[in-house]
Chain A
Amino acid sequence: MSIAEMANAAAGLAQFSPAPSLLEIGDSFWLSAVLKIAVVLAVFFVVPLVVGYMEHKVMGHQQARLGPMEAGPHGSLQLVADGIKFIQKEDLIPSAADKWVFAIAPGVAMVPAILIFLVLPLGPGIWGVDFELGLFYALAVGSVTTLGILMGGWASANKFSLIGGLRAAAQLIAYELPLILAGIAVALQAGTLSLVGIVEAQSTFFIPGTEINLWYLFPQILGFGIFFIAAMAELARPPFDMPIADSELVFGYMTEYTGIKYAMYMLTEYAGMVSMSALMVVLYLGGWQLLPGVPMPGCGGSGNIFDCNALGVGLGVAVTLGKIMLLTFLMVWARTTYPRLREDQLQRFSWLVLVPLSLLNLAIIAVAKGVF
């Protein structure tokens, strides 16, 4: 029995048959578990670094600079060098801090960020588990990260950290709702919460009455916009970076953190960018599908994107990563361009604009689904 089957069985969802992962090695539970963990960890540690490097470079050039140039060719190893530097730094704990909470907070923030990668399909067959409740799982686990931030802000015994932590919590509550509502609309259209299922549904979605295949981006462009903005807010990416707000709160909840713990927070942020982007790729951009309606080379199966050979798998992973890069590029672009909003403006924007819009989006999708 695979992990997915166990989990689904535990949830009483035996009727759902998960799509098989290519990472299963025969029937060996342990071997496949190790392989999956290795893949997940590799993705967790490598892709955020690539995104970070992309951010350095894009920000640099958008600001008439070159970005890092010294570590490695064109500064490509800058983040590795940074990581080594962080490890060497002294690990300071303020004397007034709540020591245990202070110490485990970065871990509490980071572990959920790893766990999300378990369900994200990166290519045909390249996923850890295919939960029936995959979308629910991803959103739920993702919000635990905020707990780690709140803990860090509280335990630091620093007023700036405290305000930062509280802002992060407030932001999470405000933006979780539009995020989930936008996600629900997708699940509704696809008729499943399984992330793999959603990808499959997109590859077989046609404009009613035609043969034109479309990704959910097009019918749900409104939902995509909401999800994108809410994701940025949830990740506290500029222009929604009030929990950090370096010109107001010094460095928000991270003010007192140094060394490896600080690096863990930073890694969490970038991993969050990757996992949220991957989620958007799955929900709106057709997963590893190259273009809507175009069969993947080397693949067959439903929608011509499953049952792939090595070429198809490689291409699928490349397409997913490419789309992730595109979305993270948009986030970086917004970061270089915009000033920061104010906390109350952010809240108002969520409750008065995004939540009603996402409800509207949900209603439209529901009606459309009923009609067609």
Chain B
Amino acid sequence: MATTSPPGVGLLKGLGVTIKQMFKPAVTQQYPHVKPDLPPRTRGVIALMDENCTVCMLCSRECPDWCIYIDSHKETVPPAKEGGRARTRNVLDRFAIDFALCMYCGICVEVCPFDALFWSPEFEYSEYDIDKLLHEKGKLREWMDTVPPPPALDEGADAPGEVATAIEKANQELEAAKAKAAEEARAKEQGEQAPAAGDAAAAAPAEPEVKAGEIDQETFDRLIAEGKSERIARSKAKAAYVKKEKQRLKEQAEQQAAAAPAAEEPKVEAGEIDQETFDQLIAEGKSERMARAKAKAAYVKKQKAKLRAEAEQAGGGDAVEAPAAEGSGEAAAGEAAPSAAPRKADIEVEGAGEIDQETYDALIASGKSERIARSKAKAAWVRKKKQEQMDAEGDA
């Protein structure tokens, strides 16, 4: 099986390989001067969102090497309403993970039903003493700031389970809304506007596809040329873009009616709960877990309702505009369009790498590790930017 080349040729070829490599760039990563760029799914450390933890003990029970330590006590919550029943709930006293034992399997994160545990790519927590690898609640909470958002899925992927269910539900609700909208339109316009209304209702779900961060370059350039400030120009251009996009989407609305909510739903943040409902349920004496779950559902419902209302408003505006019968159509559309854009969560801030220097310095000064400070500062920057954009939208 040996090669047939004359003796020595193999030796020379080998020399060629090494000398060629010598003039290519090295692949060494200059850690710790340059931090590695780790993917968001990296299992670096487990972060705890202790507000979410209900002390259900699932994680600690499922952990293959039992390295999660949880202590809690029961607290009695006085009845919220007169005559209500006082209830008990679990209060988390201690939550610790022994990273000397942890095998980084991810089961705890996977089983936690309340989204209290997350993986973070943060890895710089090695210690000289194995005892020091036992990290408590406070430290685990700090790591929460380094948890990146999950990456987008592959094009061929199905939506994840909870999203899929939500989509299904939203679809049903949408059908109902559509029918209702059509009916209303029919009633209002006495039949003659029916096709337009149908169109409009269909356009509504397509709304969220309009990307909030985009601007209409033409409008922007025109406004800049007109001497408007960049900020104003940008926000107006954004509104114009949304309007245009909507126009375009209306054409495809029929096909997209089903697909659109998929993009819409995930925006309802899964972890949030509706505080009002929660308090009410707790007061009613429901268990905390139940209350939380219901509150979560309530939140999702409310959020969805809000979105739907927005959508309908926008759609209604268009519907009126379409026949151009009433003068108010223009105005309604004008109002509706921006309403789709500036929800805080939707604003995409460019330049994810930026940090808020002020926050950063303050944190460093307070003795935080550089990495933590950086990630917090990053978050602060994003927050600021978002606020700025919101303000800009408001101005417009």
Extra pairs beyond A66-B26, A338-B11 (8, CB < 8 Å): A58-B22, A61-B22, A61-B26, A62-B21, A62-B22, A64-B26, A69-B28, A338-B14
Binary interface profile of B, 11-39, with partner A (CB < 8 Å = 1, else 0)? 10011011101111011101000000000
Residues of A within 8 A of B26 (CB): 60-61, 64-66
Residues of B within 8 A of A66 (CB): 26, 28, 30
The secondary structure that dominates the B interface is: helix
Question: Which residues of A326-372 are within 8 A (CB) of B?
Answer: 333-334, 336-338
B24's nearest neighbour on chain A, judged by CB, is: A64
Residues of A within 8 A of B15 (CB): 333-334, 337
A337 touching B28 by the CB < 8 A rule? no
B21 touching A61 by the CB < 8 A rule? yes
A65 touching B28 by the CB < 8 A rule? yes
Residues of A within 8 A of B17 (CB): 337
A337 touching B30 by the CB < 8 A rule? no
B18 touching A65 by the CB < 8 A rule? no
B27's nearest neighbour on chain A, judged by CB, is: A64
- Please measure, in the bound complex, the distance between the C-alpha atom of A259 and the C-alpha atom of B23, giving whole angstroms: 35
A63's nearest neighbour on chain B, judged by CB, is: B21
Binary interface profile of B, 72-103, with partner A (CB < 8 Å = 1, else 0)? 00000000000000000000000000000000
- Please measure, in the bound complex, the distance between the C-alpha atom of A35 and the C-alpha atom of B24, giving whole angstroms: 45
B13 to chain A, nearest CB (A): 9
Residue B19 contacts which of A60, A62, A65, A338 (CB distance < 8 angstroms)? A62
Residue total for B at the interface (Cβ-Cβ under 8 A): 14
B168 to chain A, nearest CB (A): 51
Residues of A within 8 A of B11 (CB): 337-338
Residues of A within 8 A of B22 (CB): 58, 61-62
A61's nearest neighbour on chain B, judged by CB, is: B22
A-B pairs with beta carbons under 8 Å apart, 24 shown? A60-B26, A61-B23, A61-B26, A62-B21, A62-B22, A63-B18, A64-B21, A64-B24, A64-B26, A65-B27, A65-B28, A66-B26, A66-B28, A66-B30, A69-B30, A333-B18, A333-B19, A334-B15, A336-B18, A337-B14, A337-B17, A337-B18, A338-B11, A338-B14
- Please measure, in the bound complex, the distance between the C-alpha atom of A63 and the C-alpha atom of B18, giving whole angstroms: 7
Residues of B within 8 A of A337 (CB): 11, 14-15, 17-18
Residues of B within 8 A of A58 (CB): 22
Residues of B within 8 A of A60 (CB): 26
B13's nearest neighbour on chain A, judged by CB, is: A337
Residues of A within 8 A of B18 (CB): 62-63, 333, 336-337
Residues of B within 8 A of A64 (CB): 21, 24, 26-28
A108 to chain B, nearest CB (A): 35
B185 to chain A, nearest CB (A): 68
- Please measure, in the bound complex, the distance between the C-alpha atom of A58 and the C-alpha atom of B21, giving whole angstroms: 10
B29's nearest neighbour on chain A, judged by CB, is: A66
- Please measure, in the bound complex, the distance between the C-alpha atom of A69 and the C-alpha atom of B30, giving whole angstroms: 9
- Please measure, in the bound complex, the distance between the C-alpha atom of A58 and the C-alpha atom of B23, giving whole angstroms: 10
B28's nearest neighbour on chain A, judged by CB, is: A66
- Please measure, in the bound complex, the distance between the C-alpha atom of A336 and the C-alpha atom of B15, giving whole angstroms: 9
Residues of B within 8 A of A62 (CB): 18-19, 21-22
A69's nearest neighbour on chain B, judged by CB, is: B30
Residues of A within 8 A of B19 (CB): 62, 333
B31 to chain A, nearest CB (A): 11
Q: Which of A63, A65, A337 is most buried by chain B, counting CB atoms within 10 A of its CB?
A: A337
In the complex, the 4 A-B pairs of residues with the closest C-beta atoms, listed nearest first: A62-B18, A66-B28, A337-B14, A61-B22
- Please measure, in the bound complex, the distance between the C-alpha atom of A336 and the C-alpha atom of B11, giving whole angstroms: 12
Residues of B within 8 A of A65 (CB): 26-28
Residues of A within 8 A of B27 (CB): 64-65
- Please measure, in the bound complex, the distance between the C-alpha atom of A60 and the C-alpha atom of B21, giving whole angstroms: 10
- Please measure, in the bound complex, the distance between the C-alpha atom of A62 and the C-alpha atom of B28, giving whole angstroms: 12
Residues of B within 8 A of A69 (CB): 28, 30
- Please measure, in the bound complex, the distance between the C-alpha atom of A322 and the C-alpha atom of B263, giving whole angstroms: 67
- Please measure, in the bound complex, the distance between the C-alpha atom of A62 and the C-alpha atom of B26, giving whole angstroms: 9
